[in-house]
Amino acid sequence: MLSHKYHNSSRRGSGAVYMMGDHTLAVPMELFAVNRRRLCDRLRKNTRVPEDAAVVLQGGDEIPHYASDTVHLFQQEAYFQWTFGVEMPGYYGVVQVSSGKSILFMPRLPEEYSIWMGHLFTPEEIKAKYAVDEVFYVDEIVKVLSSMQPSLLLTLSGVNSDSGLTNQAAMFDGISEFNVNDTLLYPEISECRVIKTPMEIEVIRYANKISSEAHIQIMKKIRPGMYEYQCEAIFLEYCYYVGGCRHVAYTCICGSGNNGAVLHYGHASAPNSKRINDGDMCLFDMGGSYCGYASDITCSFPANGKFTRDQRHIYNAVLKANDAVMQAARPGVSWTDMHRLANRILLEELRDKGILKGDVDEMLKAGIAAIFQPHGLGHFMGLDVHDVGGYLPGHPERPDEAGVNKLRTARILEPGMVLTIEPGCYFIDTLLDRALSNPEQSKFLVREEIDRLRGFGGVRIEDDVVVTETGVINLTKVPRTVKEIEETMASGHKEETTAHKEAHPHNVKCQKIL
């Protein structure tokens, strides 16, 4: 019997699909078949790849929790997910470049497995589940590959420009019998992942829809006195219960008050554990993941639902930068130019509000923008939240300019790219102290205002967009203006009051009499 998450047919369409119930998005396995065809088309154009070559990928394995007999919740390696859509550990996959023929190799599990872990799938079931051409066991991989007689096996090895880590090429007993190349595949398959297909974009759109709704739930339910992790729990519950998103795309960032100035808050040493105070600005950066595809959304708002003057000024400065990039981004535009555009607008706004002084061009040359926004404007997003392809051969290299050198890509925009637009403004003591002690930078800072805003935290506004032929489409649907945010948060208070009255009608009558 097939897993409930995969069906051979669906009233939403024919063919095998991934879905987490009829209320969630049905993702056709054709999505991954299209990916394989795109990869083969690209490899066939590479004169260094022989016609009879075969791609060999190794999927992820379960990771033990240290030396215990438990394991971390499994998530598939992204390149393997992109190629086959397999959510199970221990698999290998082969794609014949000339024909596009797809073969999965599944682990041969003992009968005892079924007692503790459930149904043992047959090769026929896996073939139907993932809509591939053939399925064998892993211990048959040498025999099957030998029968194909490839002159070259293409395995995957390359350095991820975000993490600095290297993909581990496929390894199995007997691979030494074949001619293997582990460098040709990485740039080709990574370039395929940079441009998303319409089906991939629909999955990312769905992850954005669910994550946007989850952020709105937090806006409605947050109250001073709650803890940051309780807001994280609201997000996680909604994404999974309503949207079928078992995973999040990254560790949730729920910074309140000064924690909003910690760019990657939420890790084990800063675990979303602070009590949220009245007057705190909150910066919540969270995104659900569906069928392996990510979302990445940041919302910033005051915990009590009402912006102070300072909060309004900083928020609107960041929103203006976000809006400017949203309007200017289109095919042929350099992403580094978009970063500089956002920086310029932010500095102009901070100067107009009396936080900075002087000429903005000179501020940019002095690296003032990197003091208030030390990260890049945004990044590719797909199966990885910081998706691959940022600095592939043949594309612009990482810039040297302060702040701009933090960009995760410097590429020219093309239709089908999915990126985040996430300008921010933070008051980080380390950077402020460093700037105030630097004569070339301190002359632009109004010290009294800077000192007054210490402890403010930060504001980040992050949307996920897809590049089209004429511009970008924003996949993120959350309140963005000050008015929209305040109204949304007020509606949550109203809903809570109404629910309380309906639950306790006698108390309401007594209150009226009193």
296 is catalytic: yes
For the chain, the C-alpha Rg in angstroms (whole number) is 25
461 contacts: CB under 8 Å, gap ≥ 6: 298, 299, 300, 315, 318, 319, 322, 422, 423, 424, 480
Q: Is the pLDDT of residue 1 over 50?
A: no
Written as one letter, the residue type at 66 is: Y
Q: Which pLDDT score is estimated for 508? A: 44
Q: Which pLDDT score is estimated for 495? A: 82
Q: Please state, in angstroms and as integers, the Cα–Cα distance from residue 337 to each residue in 1, 180, 325, 410, following that order.
A: 53, 41, 9, 9
Give the torsion sign (CA, 211, 217, 220, 222): negative
Do 284 and 253 contact (CB within 8 A), yes or no?
Answer: yes
**Calpha distance 127→136 (Å, rounded):** 9
Q: Is the pLDDT of residue 4 over 90?
A: no
433 is catalytic: no
Considering 22, 69, 124, 397, which one is annotated as catalytic? 69
Considering 37, 65, 119, 264, which one is annotated as catalytic? 264
**Span of 47-56, 200-209, 451-460, 498-507 with lowest mean pLDDT:** 498-507
**Calpha distance 502→508 (Å, rounded):** 9
422 is catalytic: yes
Considering 375, 408, 411, 480, which one is annotated as catalytic? 375
Q: Is the pLDDT of residue 239 over 80?
A: yes
Query: pLDDT band at 402, cuts 50/70/90?
Result: confident
pLDDT, tens only, 411-465: 999 999 999 999 999 999 999 999 999 999 999 999 999 999 999 999 999 999 9
Written as one letter, the residue type at 185 is: L
Pick the closest to residue 52 from 147, 191, 134 (CA basis): 147
Beta strands in 53-108 (DSSP E): 54-58, 92-96, 102-106
The model carries a pTM of 0.94
pLDDT, tens only, 480-498: 999 999 999 999 988 877 7
285 is catalytic: yes
The more confident residue out of 161 and 13 is 161
Considering 193, 340, 351, 386, which one is annotated as catalytic? 386
386 is catalytic: yes
Q: Which pLDDT score is estimated for 498? A: 75
Considering 232, 422, 463, 486, which one is annotated as catalytic? 422
61 is catalytic: no
Q: Which pLDDT score is estimated for 126? A: 98
Considering 379, 408, 411, 480, which one is annotated as catalytic? 379
pLDDT, tens only, 104-130: 999 999 999 999 999 999 999 999 999
462 is catalytic: yes
Considering 462, 463, 464, 486, which one is annotated as catalytic? 462
**Calpha distance 361→264 (Å, rounded):** 29
DSSP class per residue in 303-347:
TTS---HHHHHHHHHHHHHHHHHHHH--TT-BHHHHHHHHHHHHH
361 is catalytic: no
pLDDT, tens only, 453-476: 999 999 999 999 999 999 999 999
119 is catalytic: no
69 is catalytic: yes
Considering 426, 464, 480, 486, which one is annotated as catalytic? 426
What average pLDDT does the segment 22-42 reach? 98
